[in-house]
Structure formats: C-alpha cells, structure tokens
C-alpha cells in the first residue's frame, strides 16, 4: 500500500490556567491512499485533536509541540504539513485535505443559501471564476450528494433543510474542491439513527466518485465495522493499537481494545457504550505514569506503572502498545 500521510510523534499540548493538558503524545500512524482509516476512542481521547493537528488546525491555548505530518502529493513530492506557513497550509486545507465536522448546523452559515456556500468554498481555492458559475457547479454537487430537486434546493437557506440534508450539503462543500483526503469527525453523531446509515453510505460513494482517502473519527465501533479498512484505537492521548478492521475485531490485542469490544457485544447493532469499562478517563494534566491505561487495566503488571509501552508490530500490519507483548 502507498502512503498518503505519515504521522510521526505528533504531540499537542493545551496551556490552560489549570496546567498543561497533554492532549496527544507522540502519535504515529500511516494512512494509505484510497483507504478509509478510522480513529476510534472515547470522548476526550484526543482523536479530534489529532485530526485537526494534521493541517495545523489547533487554536490557542493549544500548540503543536512536536511531530511531523508527511503528506505525499499527487506529483510524488512529500511535504511536512506542520512546516508550512499559514498561507501555504490554507491552500491545502479545504482543497486537497477537507474536513466534515460533527454538527452540520454549526458548519453552515444561516445567512447564505447552500448554493452560495458551496460556490464560495470553490471560489476561495480559485476553482471557479465567479459565483454564478459556482452555483451551476453547486447544483451538480447537490446531485452527487443525493439531494433531490437540486435546482430548487440550491436556493435554500440552511434552516429550510433537515439535519440529514444539511449534513449532505456539508459533505458537498467538503468534496467541492475534489479533495484527496476527506477528514470526517463524527459525521453522523448529531443525526437521527435512521439518517446515520445514509450518511455513511454517502461518504463511501464520495470516496469512490472523488477517488478520495477518508479519515473517519468516531467513538462508534459499529460505524468502524461498517465503513473502515483500518483502525487506530486511541486512549488518553496515545494510540494503543492499529490494525485492519478484521485484526481489531477478531483478534484485539490491547486490553483497552478488548474492553471496548466487550462493551459492545455486537458492533453491528451500533450500541454506543464505550464508557462501560470500569474507571474514568484520566486527567491529561497529570496522566498516569507508564502505560496510561494501567489504573483501569485488568492485566496491569508492575512494569506498566514504570515504562511507557511503545507500539510494536505483532503480526503484519497489526501494532500494539502494551507490555504483555
Ligand atoms: Fe495493561 Fe500493562 Fe498492557 Fe497497559 S501495558 S494495557 S497496563 S498490560
Ligand atoms: Mg471529538
């Protein structure tokens, strides 16, 4: 498999009055061209921070303190996205690498029609010469995100659309510049259960039509089982396991992953119960020493309190950070 992104030692801290929140520490993973790569974990584990840091989308008091995000461009060249200036990264963000966020209401401007907003997204990156041309393209995009009657809908304001329709528009904005990577952060969480499956199907359709790579951020293992090719499991700001969907679901190695899977007896039923593991998510100002999972781990040993476990490849493509291996 060909990499499109190689993330190395990505570390983000938030400098708050209460102390330094070590939101993510030395996060490393590869994303391959054309795959759907899922980042999964409980709320607050750092998965959103990780996805935002990929294009320097970290706001004060947060700071990227270490790491590399190597991005393989179409022409074969490689750039470290973290070394780019604000102006250079803006050309890539929303263009070659686009985001879809959880809440479609917050992603759309209530004052402009959906057509105008799609057109504007293209205009920012010089893909159209005027808004009128953009509106024509917006109609095509609304069609591709399966919005019925796009000629009429293009003139709608966000409040005239249902939550599911709005998220389709947000996805339309996301794909409007034909991105190579689409980062979807909990794209279905704010939606009704009935609409969630449709949105996931749509993401899959976009991946095929636009030939994109998808990074999917979710706390829902059912979503992972249905849509992802590979998975990285995060816990308390660290990646604890990486593998194919098959490896993770059939042969989970990390006690945390095992706990997650036990908490969801059948991932296909989409029961959202990741919090069923005893104990609470640690405070990231003073994270537990050694393995951050040790206070909650049923298999913890003495060494777990002393030494940070490194990610190790146990079988081809299957990595785990745990002293049991
Ligand atoms: Fe449990 Fe130790 Fe493995 Fe951490 S390193 S998951 S505490 S066994
Ligand atoms: Mg989040």
Residues 201-226: what's their mean pLDDT? 90
Q: What pLDDT score does 188 carry?
A: 87
Query: What is the pLDDT at residue 34?
Result: 95
| C-alpha of residue 29 to centroid of ligand 1, in Å | 20
Per residue, the 3-state secondary structure of the chain, as one string, reads CCEEEEEEEEEEEEEECCEEEEEEEEEEEEEECCCEEEEECCCCCCHHHHHHHCCCCCCCCEEEEEEEEEEECCCCCEEEHHHCCHHHHHHHECCCEEEECCCHHHHCCCCCCHHHHHHHHHHHCCCCCCHHHHHHHHHHHHHHCCCCCHHHHCCCCHHHCCHHHHHHHHHHHHHCCCCCEEEEECCCCCCCHHHHHHHHHHHHHHHHHCCCEEEEEECCHHHHHHHCCEEEEEECCEEEEEEEHHHHHHCCCCHHHHHHHHHCCCHHHCCCCHHHCCCCCCCCCCCCCCCCCHHHCCCCCHHHHHCCCCCEEEECCEEECCCCC
pLDDT digits (tens, 9 = 90+) for 80-104: 999 999 999 999 999 999 999 888 8
Local confidence band at 283 (pLDDT 50, 70, 90 cut-offs): confident
Question: Tokens for 142?
Answer: 């609304």
Question: Omega of the bond prior to 61 within 30 degrees of 0, cis?
Answer: yes
pLDDT band (50, 70, 90) for residue 194: confident
- Determine the distance separating the centroid of ligand 2 and the alpha carbon of 251, expressed in angstroms: 26
Local confidence band at 105 (pLDDT 50, 70, 90 cut-offs): confident
Q: In the predicted model, is pLDDT for residue 275 greater than 70?
A: no
> Is there a contact between 252 and 246 (Cβ–Cβ < 8 Å)?
no
**Burial class of residue 295 (count of CB atoms within 10 Å of its CB; 0-12, 13-18, 19+):** middle
The bound ligand whose nearest atom lies closest to the alpha carbon of 50 is 2
Percent of the chain with pLDDT over 90: 74
Q: How far is the CA of 58 from the centre of ligand 1 (A)?
A: 30
312, 241 Cβ separation under 8 angstroms: no
CA of 186 to the centre of ligand 2 (A): 7
CA distance 134 to 130: 6
Ligand 1 center to 166 CA (angstroms): 42
Is the CB of 291 within 6 Å of ligand 1?
Answer: yes
In this structure, the residue with its CA closest to atom 3 of ligand 1 is: 322
pLDDT reading at 301 higher than 50: yes
Tell me what pLDDT residue 282 has. 75
In this predicted complex, what is the ipTM?
0.97
Q: Is the CB of 323 within 6 Å of ligand 1?
A: yes
Which of 258, 270, 242 lies closest to 296, judged by CA? 258
Is the shortest distance between the CB of 235 and ligand 1 below 6 Å? no
Dump pLDDT digits (tens) for 33-77: 999 999 999 888 999 999 999 999 999 999 999 999 999 999 989
Atom number in ligand 1 closest to CA 294: 7
Q: Provide the pLDDT confidence category of residue 271 given band limits of 50, 70 and 90.
A: very low
Is the C-beta atom of 297 inside 6 A of ligand 1? Answer: yes
Query: What is the reported pLDDT for 44?
Result: 87
CB–CB of 196/30 below 8 Å? no
Kindly calculate the radius of gyration of the chain based on its CA atoms and give it in whole angstroms: 20
Model pLDDT for residues 181-191, shown as the tens digit of each residue = 999 999 888 88
**Cα dihedral value 274, 276, 279, 285, nearest 10:** 10
Q: Work out which ligand 1 atom sits closest to the CA atom of 304.
A: 2
Which tokens in the block code for residue 171? 């996805």
Q: Specify the length of the chain in residues.
A: 325
Among candidate residues 260, 251, 182, 275, the one with its CA nearest the CA of residue 221: 260
Candidate of 295, 298, 300 to mutate for ligand 1, largest count of ligand atoms within 8 Å of Cβ: 300
Q: Among residues of the chain, what percentage have pLDDT more than 70?
A: 94
Question: What's the rounded Cα separation, in Å, for the pair 92 and 183?
Answer: 13
Domains defined for the chain, CATH in brackets: 3-96+177-293 (3.40.50.300)
Q: Find the range with the poorest average confidence among 83-97, 162-176, 212-226, 261-275.
A: 261-275
Question: Tell me, what's the pLDDT at 13?
Answer: 96
Going by pLDDT thresholds of 50, 70 and 90, the confidence category of residue 281 is: low
Q: Note whether 60 and 271 are within 8 A (CB).
A: no
Q: How far apart are the first and last CA of the chain?
A: 26
- Whole-model pTM: value is 0.93
Spacing, Cα 301 to ligand 2 middle (Å):
31
What pLDDT was estimated at residue 175? 93
Query: In this model, does residue 210 exceed pLDDT 80?
Result: yes
> For 171-181, what is the mean pLDDT?
94
Residue whose Cα lies nearest atom 7 of ligand 1: it is 294
């Amino acid at each position: 498999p060909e990499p499109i992104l190689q993330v190395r030692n990505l570390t983000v801290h938030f400098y708050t009055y209460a102390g330094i929140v070590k939101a993510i520490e030395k996060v490393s993973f590869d994303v391959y061209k054309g795959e759907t790569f899922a980042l999964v974990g409980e709320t607050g584990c750092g998965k959103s921070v990780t996805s935002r840091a990929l294009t320097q989308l970290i706001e004060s008091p947060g700071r990227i303190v270490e790491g590399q995000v190597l991005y393989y461009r179409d022409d074969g060249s490689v750039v470290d996205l973290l070394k780019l200036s604000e102006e250079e990264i803006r050309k890539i963000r929303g263009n070659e690498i686009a985001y879809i966020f959880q809440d479609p209401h917050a992603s759309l401007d209530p004052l402009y029609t959906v057509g105008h907003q799609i057109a504007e997204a293209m205009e920012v990156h010089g893909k159209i010469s005027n808004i009128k041309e953009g509106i024509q393209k917006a109609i095509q995009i609304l069609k591709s995100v399966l919005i019925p009657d796009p000629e009429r809908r293009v003139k709608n304001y966000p409040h005239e659309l249902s939550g599911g329709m709005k998220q389709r528009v947000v996805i339309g904005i996301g794909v409007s510049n034909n991105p190579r990577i689409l980062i979807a952060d909990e794209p279905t969480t704010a939606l009704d259960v009935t609409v969630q499956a449709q949105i996931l199907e749509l993401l899959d359709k976009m991946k095929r039509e636009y030939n994109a790579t998808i990074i999917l951020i979710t706390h829902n293992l059912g979503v992972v089982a249905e849509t992802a090719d590979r998975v990285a499991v995060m816990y308390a700001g660290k990646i604890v396991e990486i593998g194919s969907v098959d490896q993770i679901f059939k042969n989970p190695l990390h006690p945390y992953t095992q706990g997650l899977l036990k908490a969801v007896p059948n991932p296909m039923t989409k029961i959202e119960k990741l919090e069923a593991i005893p104990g609470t998510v640690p405070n990231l100002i003073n994270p537990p020493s050694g393995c951050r999972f040790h206070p909650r781990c049923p298999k913890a040993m003495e060494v777990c309190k002393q030494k940070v476990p490194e990610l190790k490849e146990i079988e081809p493509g299957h990595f785990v950070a745990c002293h049991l291996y």
